[in-house]
């Protein structure tokens, strides 16, 4: 029987969240099923060193940008120039900010371009770097053309390319976080891409609702409604699959973020459906959806950290897997 949780473990939690924040423990949840032995309560895997707000912010802004480009291309194709222009501008600003956040988080920012010295499908971060590198200039050209009215052909081509690459930018980040040993992320690898896509569409639609009025906003409203519905569905499927491993999404800081996000999404969704034609109501609903998308990414980020820190989340499912394998082997 090895010791559990020395005091400094608690201190480090307090340093992170303040003294009022209780430490989540998977042990209570899983103790009944397995023996959650550990080495002095220390984590088995390493907590991600990625910092906040950079990386959760990157996940959010990348989604917002990518989905905005997808919406912009469709809006443009159907003659909705006003929405297309707003979405393209939003996409360019968002991807610019998210790139800055990404570079800032590197341990050695000047070496950012080393990301592009290889092409590696086994590394979602590598593929993502290629996607973002291709996407950023096309999104910028599309926005510049839409804003100035110059070179409409080039602008249209760029807008199409940005939509294709943008769909990748908005969703690859799901593979980025789930291709790790972090239990709350990895175990949700089937649902996370849909959650991210839905959250991105909800944010992009929300931004459109904020930026333009009717009738241009009608497409943004529909995009936001479909997106947030997909997001809520994917989220509930994800939590269902995770079971006990999903506990970090329900408690502590991450739990609060996820809960607030869900309330805001539901409110934004309702507002979009009922008040989408009223300029002010649409803007408020849009803002709620954008905020909800950001909070969701922060919630997912912090839930991952918590699940990495507590050895029970890593050990218990593996013990269970071994027990099941032994049972099938014996039976």
Partner 1 sequence: MSTAADVTAAGLDPAALAGYEGHPPRMGFFTDTSVCIGCKACEVACKEWNSVPEDGLQLTGMSYDNSVSLNASTWRHVAFIEQIGHGPPDATADGAHSVDGAVDAAQPDAPRWLMASDVCKHCTEAACLDVCPTGALIRTEFGTVVVQDDICNGCGYCVPACPFGVIGRRESDGGAHKCTLCYDRLGDGLTPACAKACPTESIQFGPVDELRERAQQRVSELHENGTDSARLYLQDPGDGIGGGGAFFLLLDEPEVYGLPPDPVVTTRDLPRMWRHVATAAGGLAATAVAACLGWRGSQR
Query: Which residues in the 234-273 window bind partner 1 by CB under 8 A?
Result: none
For residue 120, give both structure tokens. 């590696």
Radius of gyration of the chain (CA): 21
48 contributes a contact to partner 1 by CB under 8 A: yes
Q: In a 3-state reduction of DSSP, which class is residue 92?
A: helix
Out of 59, 86, 94, 115, the residue judged to bind partner 1 by CB under 8 A:
115
Give the whole-angstrom CA distance, residue 66 versus residue 58: 12
Does residue 150 belong to the site contacting partner 1 (CB under 8 A)? no
Q: Which of 58, 60, 135, 194 binds partner 1 (CB under 8 A)?
A: 194
Could you give the residue ranges of the DSSP H alpha helices within 39-80? 54-77
Nearest approach, Cβ of residue 122 and partner 1 (Å): 4
The Cα 108–Cα 258 span in angstroms is 32
Smallest gap from Cβ 20 to partner 1, in A, equals: 25
Which of 56, 57, 124, 255 binds partner 1 (CB under 8 A)? It is 124
Please tell me the distance from the alpha carbon of residue 14 to that of residue 152, in angstroms, as a whole number. 55
52 binds partner 1 (CB under 8 A): no
Residues in 66-105 that interact with partner 1 by CB under 8 A:
66-67, 70-71, 73-75, 77-80, 105
Extended strands (E) in 153-295: none
* Piece in contact with partner 1 (CB under 8 A), picked from 145-153, 225-233, 235-243, 257-265: 225-233
314 belongs to the binding site for partner 1 (CB under 8 A):
yes
Residue 163's nearest CA partner among 120, 200, 115 is 200
Rounded to a whole number of angstroms, the minimum distance from the CB of residue 108 to partner 1 is 4
- The residue range among 132-140, 218-226, 254-262, 263-271 that interacts with partner 1, by the rule CB under 8 A, is 218-226
The candidate with the shortest Cα–Cα distance to 279, out of 331, 187, 212, 223, is 212
């Amino acid at each position: 029987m090895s010791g559990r949780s020395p005091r400094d473990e608690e201190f480090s939690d307090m340093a992170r969240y303040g003294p009022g924040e209780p430490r989540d423990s998977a042990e209570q949840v899983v103790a009944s099923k397995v023996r959650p032995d550990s080495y002095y309560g220390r984590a088995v895997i390493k907590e991600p060193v990625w910092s906040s707000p950079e990386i959760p912010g990157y996940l959010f802004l990348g989604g917002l940008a990518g989905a905005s480009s997808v919406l912009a291309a469709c809006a443009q194709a159907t003659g909705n120039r006003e929405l297309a222009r707003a979405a393209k501008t939003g996409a360019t600003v968002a991807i610019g900010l998210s790139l800055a956040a990404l570079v800032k988080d590197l341990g050695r920012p000047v070496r950012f371009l080393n990301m592009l010295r290889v092409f590696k499908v086994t590394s979602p971060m590598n593929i993502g770097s290629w996607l973002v590198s291709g996407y950023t200039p096309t999104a910028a050209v599309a926005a510049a053309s839409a804003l100035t009215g110059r070179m409409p052909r080039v602008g249209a081509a760029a807008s199409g390319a940005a939509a294709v690459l943008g769909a990748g930018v908005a969703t690859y980040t799901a593979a980025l976080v789930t291709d790790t040993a972090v239990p709350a992320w990895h175990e949700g690898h089937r649902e996370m891409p849909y959650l991210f896509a839905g959250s991105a569409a909800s944010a992009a639609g929300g931004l459109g609702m904020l930026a333009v009025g009717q009738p241009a906003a009608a497409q943004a409203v529909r995009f936001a409604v479909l997106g947030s519905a997909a997001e809520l569905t994917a989220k509930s499927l994800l939590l269902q699959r995770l079971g006990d491993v999903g506990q970090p999404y329900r408690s502590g800081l991450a739990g609060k973020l996820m809960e607030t996000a869900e309330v805001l999404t539901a409110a934004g969704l309702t507002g979009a459906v009922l008040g989408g034609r009223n300029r002010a109501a649409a803007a408020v609903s849009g803002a709620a959806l954008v905020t909800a998308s950001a909070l969701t990414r922060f919630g997912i980020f912090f839930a991952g950290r918590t699940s990495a820190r507590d050895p029970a989340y890593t050990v218990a499912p593996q013990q269970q897997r071994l027990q099941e394998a032994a049972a099938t082997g014996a039976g």
